[in-house]
């Protein structure tokens, strides 16, 4: 294996055609909490990426996995889940060191990955088609789903394990072969998960990982005619560039992009419950979450009371060692990302927002590192940049409303449509809001309830396609109609036979 523990950084090679492949150059990853180099990833070349695609194409065309019995695929995926479960401590440690996650968030992600793999294994046995017997004049048909082919899975830095698990097991359950391109910042778990899949019995070439930068590695996946589908999670800007590149290739696309999700707190909501739900949706993993509830829309009649409660709770959260169970908030990804978040907060104040709590630093005198306290910005107008642009940090904007109609209008006044929540005691109001806010997910009196059975994806500029659930499997398939006759059709042409 490529991850033997050693005194220095853990070294990770590519995983191509069932074997580790080193590179001449490596990319070092610094633990954002300590500033120490913790991992060194192989820096992939265009040749590495092309070789991985070739291995995946060969494996798919051979049928060794694509035409394997569903029960066999289910068994391999189930064995994989057990191996991931056994390696949980190692994977959690990688998530903490590379992504800056707190131990509670990292543990939840690894446990969630196991659940996703198990669920994908179960879907193998539920994969079905449709039958249309006796349509007309002896004509019958089957409608079946076949694997789309070779999938290029591009995984972001913020949730390297869970987003990998939202893509790869479902593609494998459908019978596809996969080439994974993880973020160059958080590649460790993608390599380890793929090594464990081979150990579980996945045939060589069916699952490959090439670490490195988007250019050249990701670009090869996007451009290669041997890749049938791209499943990408990342920024809307990058998603648009990927789409632009398909004017010739016409690949299948699954895009999970940015978000600016709204949490709507009505006057009749359980305010204490709403405080906890709103905090979880924006401050978990330091707000570096695509579906974070980063816009709070609160009824003006309860706004002052609600914000006082919310600010007290936010200010009480503990920043510190991500490996401590007592820590609530870890560091941001990097100093560069810290500057982006800090810049947005400064901009918000210039645009007229009122900072109720938070700001840069840990607040304990130790200001080294990319630490940012949970921040709440009140009086944010709908025409400001911080209302409209994804900040990707622990920053909650607050906009007040007078009626539910106004709240729905504010929620929909966004280029994005990934998620959202509504907090109310009135179920009529709740379901009215849920049906009218244009998002892929809308939760009632809860937030960030991502479960394997529930499809996830966005509307508008938040992307296309779905991950997880039956829809997550279907996205990795092509629909084929197989028509046949039991009675010959009458001749159409009138000439002599």
Active site residues: 256
Task: Please tell me the distance from the alpha carbon of residue 289 to that of residue 291, in angstroms, as a whole number.
Answer: 6
Of 408, 440, 438, 448, nearest to 424 (Cα)?
Answer: 408
C-alpha closest to that of 203 among 165, 172, 174:
172
With beta carbons less than 8 A apart as the criterion, state whether 32 and 21 touch: no
Cβ atoms < 10 Å from Cβ of 305: 11
The maximal CA–CA distance of the chain, rounded, in angstroms, is: 97
Under a CB-based contact definition with an 8 Å cutoff, are residues 167 and 179 in contact?
no
CB count in 10 Å sphere of residue 435: 9
Residue 234 CA to residue 257 CA, distance in Å, equals: 5
Residue 86 makes CB contacts below 8 A (sequence gap 6+) with none
Give residue 339's Cα distance to chain centre: 24
Treating both helix axes as pointing N-terminal to C-terminal, what angle do 300-315 and 271-283 enclose, rounded to 10 degrees?
A: 60
Count of residues making up the chain = 497
């Amino acid at each position: 294996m490529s991850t033997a523990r050693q005194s220095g950084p853990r070294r990770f090679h590519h995983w191509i055609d069932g074997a580790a492949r080193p590179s001449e150059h490596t990319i070092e990853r610094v633990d954002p909490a300590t500033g120490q180099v913790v991992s060194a990833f192989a820096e992939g070349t265009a040749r590495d990426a092309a070789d991985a695609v070739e291995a995946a194409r060969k494996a798919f065309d051979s049928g060794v996995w694509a035409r394997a019995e569903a029960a066999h695929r289910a068994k391999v995926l189930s064995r994989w889940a057990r191996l991931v479960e056994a390696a949980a401590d190692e994977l959690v440690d990688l998530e903490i060191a590379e992504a800056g996650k707190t131990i509670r968030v990292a543990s939840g992600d690894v446990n969630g990955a196991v659940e996703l793999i198990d669920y994908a294994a179960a879907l193998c046995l539920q994969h079905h088609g449709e039958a249309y017997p006796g349509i007309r004049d002896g004509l019958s048909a089957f409608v079946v789903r076949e694997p789309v082919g070779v999938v290029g899975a591009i995984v972001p830095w913020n949730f390297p394990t869970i987003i990998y698990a939202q893509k790869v097991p479902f593609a494998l359950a459908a019978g596809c072969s996969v080439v994974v391109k993880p973020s160059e910042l958080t590649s460790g778990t993608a390599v380890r998960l793929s090594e464990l899949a081979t150990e579980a019995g996945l045939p060589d070439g069916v699952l490959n990982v090439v670490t490195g930068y988007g250019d050249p590695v990701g670009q090869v996946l996007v451009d290669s005619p041997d890749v049938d589908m791209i499943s990408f999670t990342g920024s809307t800007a990058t998603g648009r560039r990927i789409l632009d590149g398909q004017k010739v290739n016409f690949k299948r696309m699954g895009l999970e992009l940015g978000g600016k999700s709204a949490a709507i707190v009505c006057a009749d909501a359980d305010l204490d419950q709403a405080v906890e739900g709103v905090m979880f949706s924006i401050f978990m993993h330091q707000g570096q979450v695509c579906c974070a509830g980063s816009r709070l829309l609160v009824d003006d009649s309860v706004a002052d009371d609600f914000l006082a409660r919310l600010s007290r709770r936010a200010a009480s959260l503990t920043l510190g060692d991500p490996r401590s169970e007592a820590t609530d908030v870890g560091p941001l990804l990097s100093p560069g990302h810290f500057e982006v978040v800090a810049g947005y907060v400064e901009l918000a104040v210039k645009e007229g927002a009122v900072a109720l709590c938070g700001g840069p630093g840990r607040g304990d005198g130790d200001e080294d590192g990319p630490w940012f306290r949970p921040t709440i910005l009140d009086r944010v107008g709908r025409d400001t940049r911080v209302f409209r642009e994804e900040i990707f940090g622990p920053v909650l904007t607050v906009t007040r409303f007078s009626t539910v109609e106004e709240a729905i209008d504010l929620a929909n006044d966004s280029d994005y449509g990934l998620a959202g929540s509504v907090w109310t005691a009135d179920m009529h109001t709740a379901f009215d809001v849920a049906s009218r806010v244009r998002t892929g997910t809308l939760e009632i009196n809860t937030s960030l309830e991502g479960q394997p059975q529930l499809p996830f994806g966005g509307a508008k500029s938040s992307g296309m396609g779905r991950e997880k659930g039956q829809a997550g499997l279907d996205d990795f398939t092509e629909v084929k109609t197989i028509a046949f006759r039991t009675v010959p059709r009458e001749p159409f042409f009138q000439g002599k036979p």
